[in-house]
Amino acid sequence: MDFEPTIVAFLCNWCSYAGADLAGTSRFQYPANIRVIRVMCSSRINPLFILNALLEGADGVLVSG
């Protein structure tokens, strides 16, 4: 079976999260293995979160803001 990475994404509510919503409104299709956690600003992201996500089994972390 092909390797399917699990990606945890931290998205800023005001830009990237809104962008992900817009992708939805526009019905853009993308793989389902990305899981989004909404934050109010990408500056909220503590390095601890990224390490924790990897420790919990994520193969990649996306921080976007």
Partner 1 sequence: MAAKKIGVYICHCGVNIAATVDIEELKRFAATLPRVKSVQNYMYVCSDPGQELIRKDIKEKGLNRIVVAACSPRMHEPTFRNVLKSAGLNPYCLEITNIREQCSWVHHDRHTATEKAKGLLAASVAKAALLEPLEEHEVGVTPTAMVIGGGIAGIQAALDIADTGFKVYLVEKEASIGGHMMQLDKTFPTLDCSACILTPKMADVKNHPNIELLAYSEVIEVKGFVGNFKVTVKKKPRYVIESICNACGQCSPYCPIEIDDAFNERLAKTKALYIPFPQAIPATYVIDPQSCRYLRDKSCRQCEQVCKELQAINLDQKEELVELDIGTIIVATGFDIFDPRQKPELGYGKYENVITGLEFERLVSASGPNQGDIKINGKKPKDVVFVQCVGSRDQTVGNEYCSRVCCMYTAKHAHLVREKLPDAHITIFYIDIRAFGKGFEQFYDRVRGERVYYRRGNVSEIYKKGDKLMVRAEDTLMGKAVEVAADLVVLAVGMEPSKSAKELGKILKLSNSPDKFFLEAHPKLRPVDTGSDGVFLAGCCQGPKDIPDTVAQASAAAAKAVIPLAHGTVKTEAMVSVVQAEACRGCGFCVEACPYAAITLEEKKVRGKKKIVATVNEVLCKSCGACAASCLSGAIQQKSFTDEQILSMIAVIGKKY
Which residues of this chain interact with partner 1, rule CB under 8 A? 6-8, 13-15, 17-18, 20-21, 23-25, 27-33, 35-41, 43-46, 48-49, 52-53, 56-58
Least Å from the CB of residue 2 to partner 1: 13
DSSP letter for each residue of 5-34: --EEEEEETTTHHHHHHHHHHTT----TTE
Least Å from the CB of residue 21 to partner 1: 4
By the 8 A CB rule, do 57 and 5 touch?
A: no
Least Å from the CB of residue 1 to partner 1: 13
Cβ nearer to partner 1, comparing 2 with 27: 27
By the 8 A CB rule, do 7 and 33 touch?
A: yes
